[in-house]
Structure 1
Protein backbone atom coordinates (compact mmCIF):
# COMPACT_ATOMS: atom_id res chain seq x y z
CA UNK A 1 0.00 0.00 0.00
CA UNK A 2 1.39 3.41 -1.04
CA UNK A 3 0.72 6.28 1.30
CA UNK A 4 0.27 9.57 -0.51
CA UNK A 5 1.61 12.52 1.45
CA UNK A 6 -0.53 15.60 1.89
CA UNK A 7 0.70 19.03 0.83
CA UNK A 8 2.08 21.00 3.73
CA UNK A 9 3.01 24.59 4.53
CA UNK A 10 6.53 25.77 3.70
CA UNK A 11 8.61 28.68 4.92
CA UNK A 12 10.99 30.37 2.49
CA UNK A 13 13.63 32.82 3.63
CA UNK A 14 14.71 34.75 0.53
CA UNK A 15 18.46 34.23 0.93
CA UNK A 16 19.23 33.03 -2.60
CA UNK A 17 18.93 34.98 -5.83
CA UNK A 18 18.51 33.96 -9.45
CA UNK A 19 18.96 35.85 -12.71
CA UNK A 20 15.77 36.20 -14.73
CA UNK A 21 15.60 36.35 -18.52
CA UNK A 22 14.52 39.98 -18.09
CA UNK A 23 18.06 40.94 -17.01
CA UNK A 24 17.36 41.42 -13.28
CA UNK A 25 18.27 39.39 -10.18
CA UNK A 26 15.36 38.20 -8.04
CA UNK A 27 15.31 36.89 -4.48
CA UNK A 28 14.08 33.30 -4.64
CA UNK A 29 10.55 33.00 -3.28
CA UNK A 30 7.44 30.90 -3.72
CA UNK A 31 7.37 28.86 -6.96
CA UNK A 32 7.08 25.36 -8.35
CA UNK A 33 10.83 24.97 -7.98
CA UNK A 34 11.02 26.01 -4.30
CA UNK A 35 7.81 24.70 -2.73
CA UNK A 36 5.92 22.83 -5.45
CA UNK A 37 3.40 25.67 -6.00
CA UNK A 38 0.70 24.84 -8.53
CA UNK A 39 -0.81 28.23 -9.40
CA UNK A 40 1.24 31.11 -8.02
CA UNK A 41 4.75 32.53 -7.89
CA UNK A 42 5.86 35.27 -5.49
CA UNK A 43 9.28 36.77 -5.01
CA UNK A 44 11.10 39.98 -4.10
CA UNK A 45 12.93 42.21 -6.54
CA UNK A 46 15.33 44.96 -5.53
CA UNK A 47 16.43 47.20 -8.40
CA UNK A 48 19.59 49.20 -7.72
CA UNK A 49 19.80 52.78 -9.03
CA UNK A 50 20.18 52.76 -12.81
CA UNK A 51 18.96 49.16 -13.24
CA UNK A 52 16.53 48.34 -16.01
CA UNK A 53 14.96 45.21 -17.37
CA UNK A 54 14.92 44.10 -20.97
CA UNK A 55 11.64 44.75 -22.79
CA UNK A 56 9.49 41.66 -22.34
CA UNK A 57 6.05 40.21 -21.76
CA UNK A 58 4.64 37.24 -19.89
CA UNK A 59 2.50 35.50 -22.48
CA UNK A 60 0.63 33.20 -20.12
CA UNK A 61 0.42 34.91 -16.75
CA UNK A 62 -0.71 38.03 -14.95
CA UNK A 63 1.58 40.00 -12.64
CA UNK A 64 0.75 41.94 -9.48
CA UNK A 65 3.39 44.19 -7.93
CA UNK A 66 3.48 45.88 -4.53
CA UNK A 67 6.23 48.50 -4.32
CA UNK A 68 7.84 48.38 -0.88
CA UNK A 69 10.36 51.20 -1.30
CA UNK A 70 11.68 53.65 -3.84
CA UNK A 71 10.15 54.12 -7.27
CA UNK A 72 10.36 52.53 -10.71
CA UNK A 73 9.48 54.03 -14.08
CA UNK A 74 7.64 51.49 -16.22
CA UNK A 75 6.86 51.71 -19.92
CA UNK A 76 4.14 49.41 -21.25
CA UNK A 77 1.93 48.78 -24.28
CA UNK A 78 2.47 47.25 -27.70
CA UNK A 79 5.19 49.83 -28.51
CA UNK A 80 5.99 50.78 -24.88
CA UNK A 81 4.05 53.97 -25.60
CA UNK A 82 2.61 54.29 -22.06
CA UNK A 83 4.60 55.40 -19.02
CA UNK A 84 3.87 55.26 -15.29
CA UNK A 85 5.91 55.79 -12.13
CA UNK A 86 5.27 53.12 -9.49
CA UNK A 87 6.13 54.43 -5.99
CA UNK A 88 6.39 52.92 -2.50
CA UNK A 89 2.93 51.86 -1.36
CA UNK A 90 1.54 51.50 -4.92
CA UNK A 91 0.02 48.33 -6.36
CA UNK A 92 0.57 47.76 -10.09
CA UNK A 93 -1.14 45.17 -12.33
CA UNK A 94 0.25 43.87 -15.64
CA UNK A 95 -2.10 41.66 -17.69
CA UNK A 96 -0.75 38.61 -19.52
CA UNK A 97 0.66 39.48 -22.94
CA UNK A 98 1.35 43.19 -22.29
CA UNK A 99 4.90 44.29 -23.22
CA UNK A 100 6.65 46.25 -20.47
CA UNK A 101 10.02 47.54 -19.33
CA UNK A 102 10.72 48.72 -15.77
CA UNK A 103 13.72 50.94 -14.96
CA UNK A 104 14.97 52.50 -11.74
CA UNK A 105 15.93 56.01 -12.83
CA UNK A 106 16.32 57.26 -9.25
CA UNK A 107 19.42 57.42 -7.09
CA UNK A 108 18.01 54.96 -4.51
CA UNK A 109 17.26 51.21 -4.65
CA UNK A 110 13.65 50.17 -5.14
CA UNK A 111 12.15 46.94 -3.76
CA UNK A 112 8.89 45.21 -4.60
CA UNK A 113 6.96 42.03 -3.92
CA UNK A 114 5.97 40.45 -7.24
CA UNK A 115 3.25 37.81 -7.58
CA UNK A 116 2.42 35.96 -10.78
CA UNK A 117 -0.22 33.44 -11.77
CA UNK A 118 2.36 31.05 -13.26
CA UNK A 119 4.14 29.03 -10.57
CA UNK A 120 7.12 28.52 -12.91
CA UNK A 121 7.75 32.30 -13.15
CA UNK A 122 10.21 32.28 -16.07
CA UNK A 123 8.27 29.82 -18.27
CA UNK A 124 6.28 32.35 -20.28
CA UNK A 125 8.77 35.25 -20.38
CA UNK A 126 9.20 36.47 -23.97
CA UNK A 127 12.00 38.97 -24.61
CA UNK A 128 11.23 41.80 -27.05
CA UNK A 129 14.65 43.20 -28.04
CA UNK A 130 13.09 45.25 -30.84
CA UNK A 131 11.44 47.43 -28.15
CA UNK A 132 14.48 48.02 -25.91
CA UNK A 133 15.58 51.17 -27.77
CA UNK A 134 12.18 52.82 -27.24
CA UNK A 135 13.06 53.55 -23.60
CA UNK A 136 15.76 56.09 -22.80
CA UNK A 137 18.81 54.94 -20.86
Structure 2
Protein backbone atom coordinates (compact mmCIF):
# COMPACT_ATOMS: atom_id res chain seq x y z
CA UNK A 1 0.00 0.00 0.00
CA UNK A 2 1.31 3.48 -0.90
CA UNK A 3 1.55 5.43 2.38
CA UNK A 4 1.36 8.79 0.57
CA UNK A 5 -2.16 8.02 -0.65
CA UNK A 6 -3.63 7.03 2.69
CA UNK A 7 -5.11 9.05 5.54
CA UNK A 8 -2.63 10.30 8.10
CA UNK A 9 -3.19 11.51 11.66
CA UNK A 10 -0.84 14.14 13.11
CA UNK A 11 -0.66 14.50 16.89
CA UNK A 12 1.51 16.89 18.88
CA UNK A 13 3.39 18.08 15.84
CA UNK A 14 6.79 19.68 16.35
CA UNK A 15 7.32 23.40 16.23
CA UNK A 16 9.62 25.07 13.74
CA UNK A 17 10.96 28.60 13.39
CA UNK A 18 9.76 30.17 10.16
CA UNK A 19 11.56 32.70 7.99
CA UNK A 20 8.82 35.16 8.93
CA UNK A 21 10.16 35.29 12.51
CA UNK A 22 7.53 33.22 14.32
CA UNK A 23 7.41 29.69 15.73
CA UNK A 24 4.77 27.49 14.10
CA UNK A 25 3.21 24.24 15.20
CA UNK A 26 3.65 22.20 12.05
CA UNK A 27 0.93 19.80 11.06
CA UNK A 28 0.05 19.01 7.45
CA UNK A 29 2.78 19.53 4.84
CA UNK A 30 4.85 17.78 2.23
CA UNK A 31 7.46 17.25 4.93
CA UNK A 32 5.10 15.67 7.47
CA UNK A 33 2.60 13.64 5.40
CA UNK A 34 3.69 13.96 1.77
CA UNK A 35 0.88 16.38 0.83
CA UNK A 36 0.97 17.62 -2.73
CA UNK A 37 -1.13 20.78 -2.65
CA UNK A 38 -1.71 22.04 0.89
CA UNK A 39 0.10 23.01 4.07
CA UNK A 40 -1.67 23.65 7.38
CA UNK A 41 -0.19 24.78 10.66
CA UNK A 42 -0.97 26.66 13.84
CA UNK A 43 0.52 30.04 14.71
CA UNK A 44 0.48 31.76 18.08
CA UNK A 45 1.71 35.35 17.98
CA UNK A 46 3.03 36.53 21.34
CA UNK A 47 1.78 39.86 22.72
CA UNK A 48 3.12 42.87 20.83
CA UNK A 49 5.11 40.80 18.31
CA UNK A 50 5.17 41.02 14.52
CA UNK A 51 6.30 38.98 11.56
CA UNK A 52 8.88 40.08 9.04
CA UNK A 53 7.29 41.54 5.91
CA UNK A 54 6.89 38.76 3.35
CA UNK A 55 4.82 37.20 0.62
CA UNK A 56 4.07 33.67 -0.55
CA UNK A 57 5.03 33.30 -4.19
CA UNK A 58 2.31 31.70 -6.32
CA UNK A 59 0.39 30.41 -3.28
CA UNK A 60 -2.84 31.50 -1.60
CA UNK A 61 -3.29 31.60 2.17
CA UNK A 62 -6.44 31.02 4.23
CA UNK A 63 -6.48 31.89 7.93
CA UNK A 64 -9.00 31.32 10.71
CA UNK A 65 -8.44 33.36 13.89
CA UNK A 66 -9.02 30.87 16.70
CA UNK A 67 -8.24 33.07 19.67
CA UNK A 68 -7.53 36.73 20.29
CA UNK A 69 -7.06 39.52 17.79
CA UNK A 70 -4.45 40.19 15.17
CA UNK A 71 -3.82 42.90 12.62
CA UNK A 72 -2.02 43.09 9.30
CA UNK A 73 -0.47 45.65 6.99
CA UNK A 74 -0.64 44.52 3.37
CA UNK A 75 -0.28 45.71 -0.21
CA UNK A 76 2.69 46.55 -2.42
CA UNK A 77 4.00 49.11 0.10
CA UNK A 78 2.06 47.84 3.13
CA UNK A 79 -0.30 50.75 2.57
CA UNK A 80 -3.46 48.89 3.59
CA UNK A 81 -4.43 47.73 7.07
CA UNK A 82 -6.99 45.40 8.61
CA UNK A 83 -7.89 44.01 12.02
CA UNK A 84 -8.65 40.30 12.35
CA UNK A 85 -10.85 39.31 15.26
CA UNK A 86 -11.45 35.95 16.89
CA UNK A 87 -13.78 33.94 14.62
CA UNK A 88 -12.78 35.82 11.43
CA UNK A 89 -11.60 34.16 8.24
CA UNK A 90 -8.88 35.87 6.19
CA UNK A 91 -7.83 35.26 2.59
CA UNK A 92 -4.45 36.44 1.27
CA UNK A 93 -3.97 36.18 -2.52
CA UNK A 94 -0.74 34.71 -3.88
CA UNK A 95 2.11 37.21 -4.13
CA UNK A 96 0.55 39.78 -1.77
CA UNK A 97 3.07 41.44 0.56
CA UNK A 98 1.87 41.37 4.16
CA UNK A 99 3.05 41.88 7.71
CA UNK A 100 0.86 40.35 10.44
CA UNK A 101 1.24 41.38 14.05
CA UNK A 102 -0.38 41.14 17.45
CA UNK A 103 -1.48 44.61 18.57
CA UNK A 104 -2.32 43.43 22.10
CA UNK A 105 0.46 43.99 24.64
CA UNK A 106 -0.87 41.36 27.08
CA UNK A 107 -2.64 38.51 25.23
CA UNK A 108 -1.39 36.11 22.55
CA UNK A 109 -3.46 35.37 19.48
CA UNK A 110 -3.69 32.01 17.72
CA UNK A 111 -4.59 31.27 14.11
CA UNK A 112 -5.04 28.18 11.97
CA UNK A 113 -3.27 28.74 8.64
CA UNK A 114 -3.56 26.83 5.36
CA UNK A 115 -1.65 27.52 2.14
CA UNK A 116 -1.77 26.01 -1.32
CA UNK A 117 1.97 25.31 -1.02
CA UNK A 118 2.60 21.85 0.47
CA UNK A 119 6.07 22.99 1.60
CA UNK A 120 6.04 24.83 4.92
CA UNK A 121 8.58 27.51 3.99
CA UNK A 122 9.54 27.14 0.35
CA UNK A 123 7.33 29.90 -1.08
CA UNK A 124 8.13 32.46 1.66
CA UNK A 125 9.93 35.48 0.22
CA UNK A 126 11.12 38.00 2.81
CA UNK A 127 10.76 41.70 1.96
CA UNK A 128 13.22 43.54 4.23
CA UNK A 129 12.70 46.80 2.33
CA UNK A 130 9.09 46.80 3.58
CA UNK A 131 10.10 46.20 7.20
CA UNK A 132 11.53 49.72 7.33
CA UNK A 133 8.21 51.10 6.01
CA UNK A 134 6.39 49.35 8.85
CA UNK A 135 8.82 50.77 11.40
CA UNK A 136 8.13 54.30 10.08
CA UNK A 137 4.37 53.71 10.46
CA UNK A 138 4.93 52.88 14.13
CA UNK A 139 6.91 56.07 14.86
Quickly name the TM-score band, shorter chain normalised.
over 0.9
Question: 2 CA distance for matches of 1:97 and 1:5?
Answer: 34
- Asked if 1:5 is matched to 2:2, the reply is yes
Greater CA radius of gyration, 1 or 2? 1
What's the CA shift for 1:121?
A: 2.4
Q: After superposition, where does 1:67-86 map in structure 2 within 5 Å?
A: 67-86=65-84
> SS in structure 2 opposite 1:96?
coil
TM-score normalised by structure 2 residue count: 0.92
Residue 124 of structure 2 is matched in structure 1 by 125
Over residues 22-69 of structure 1, what are the superposed CA-to-partner deviations in whole Å (9 max), with x where a residue is unaligned? Answer: 001000110000000010000000011011100000012000000001
Find runs of 4+ consecutive structure 1 residues off by over 6 angstroms: none
* Structure 2 gap ranges (5+): none
What RMSD over aligned residues (CA atoms) do the two structures have, in Å? 1.3
* Structure 1 gap ranges (5+): none
Give the number of equivalent residue pairs. 134
Over residues 102-123 of structure 1, what are the superposed CA-to-partner deviations in whole Å (9 max), with x where a residue is unaligned? Answer: 0101021100000000000211
Question: 1 CA distance for matches of 2:69 and 2:16?
Answer: 22
TM-score normalised by structure 1 residue count: 0.93
Question: 1 CA distance for matches of 2:77 and 2:2?
Answer: 48
Residue 66 of structure 1 is matched in structure 2 by 64
Question: 1 CA distance for matches of 2:118 and 2:63?
Answer: 15
Question: 2 CA distance for matches of 1:14 and 1:26?
Answer: 12
Residue 54 of structure 2 is matched in structure 1 by 56
